[in-house]
Amino acid sequence: MEKVATKRSTWLLATALGLASLAHPGVSAAQFTDPEQTIGVRPELLKQVGVDQKLNSSIPLDLIFRDEHGNTVTLGEYFHGKPVILTLVYYNCPMLCTQVLNGLDRSLEQIPLTMGRDFNVVTVSIDPTDQPPLAEAKQAVYLGMYNRPSAGQGWHFLTGQQSQIQQLAAAVGFRYAYDPDSKQYAHASVVMVLTPEGRLSRYFYGVTYPALDMRLGLVDASRGKIGSPVDEVLLFCYHYDPHTGKYGLLISRVIQLAGILTVLVGGISLLLLFRSEHYSLQGKKA
C-alpha cells in the first residue's frame, strides 16, 4: 500500500505544479522540476501536496459541516445506504477545481445510475473562509448541468471549520497546501468513491473520469445493491487497479466467461435437439 501511495503522490505532483505556477506568474511548471531554475520558487509547498490512498479505511462520519443552505449537518447524513462520491475542492479556485467538478459531471451524465436515487455526491471546500451562499451558487450550477430529476437531493456542497476539513482530508489521504502570497491552494485532482458505510472504495485521478470506471466504481462500492445484471458481468470482467486508479479488462475472466457461455449455449442446443427428436418420435408413433 505504501508503494501505491508513493506512486500516486509522485504522479499527482504534476497536477499541483499547474496550480503552483499560478501562484508564481511567469514561472512555468517545468521550472519547478529543474533544480537550476528553482531560485525564488518554493518547492516545499509542492512537497506537501499529494494523495495517499487509504483504501478500505473509514472516514469520520460525525464530522460537522454546513450545507449549501447554511444548515449544520454531519457527513453521515449523506450516506443512508448509498455509495457516495466525495470531492475536495474550494469554491474560489481559478482553474483545477472547476475542471474536476466539470469532469465529474460529464462522467455522471453518461452513466445509467442516477444521482440522488442510486448514489450521492458530496463536495467539501478545503477553504474555511468559503461560505454557504457560494456553496449554494455552485450547487445551482452543477445541478443545472446534470439536469436529472431527484438530483437536488443528491449533490451537496459543504463548507466548514478548518479543524473539521483537516480531519476529513487526513482521513482520505488528501494533502494540500495554502500559498499566502497568491491566496490559493495547491492540491491534486482526485475523486473518491465510498461505500454506504463510509469506507474508501475507489480513487479516480485527473480531471476526466471514464464513465465505465465511474459506473463500476459505484456498483462495486454498493456491493451490487445498485446497477443491473450487465454491471455484474462487467465487474466480473474488469478489475480495479489502485496503481492507475482505473478499471482494466481481465482477459482470463473474459475467457472464463466465454467458456461458460459456450457450455451454456451448447447445453441449450442439445436440449432443443433432444426435444425435437422426442416430438418427432412421438409423431411417428401416432
- Start-to-end CA distance of the chain, whole Å, equals 73
Domains of the chain as residue ranges with CATH:
2-225 (3.40.30.10)
Whole-number average pLDDT of the chain: 80
| Lowest mean pLDDT across 16-25, 39-48, 92-101 | 16-25
pLDDT tens digit sequence for 111-158: 999 999 999 999 999 999 999 999 999 999 999 999 898 788 899 999
d(CA 56, CA 7): 18
Picking from 75, 82, 54, 108, the residue whose alpha carbon sits closest to that of residue 221 is 82
% residues pLDDT > 70 (the chain): 69
What's the predicted TM-score (pTM) here? 0.74
Predicted confidence band of residue 80 (pLDDT cuts 50, 70, 90): confident
Query: Any idea what the Cα angle at residue 206 is, between residues 26 and 126, rounded to 5°?
Result: 75
Q: Report the pLDDT value the prediction gives residue 282, as an integer from 0 to 100.
A: 59
Asked whether the predicted pLDDT for residue 20 surpasses 90, the reply is no
Predicted confidence band of residue 236 (pLDDT cuts 50, 70, 90): low
| Lowest mean pLDDT across 24-28, 168-172, 182-186, 234-238 | 24-28
Q: 50 near 80, Cβ under 8 Å? A: no
| Residues 6+ positions from 209 with CB-CB distance below 8 Å | 103, 104, 107, 191
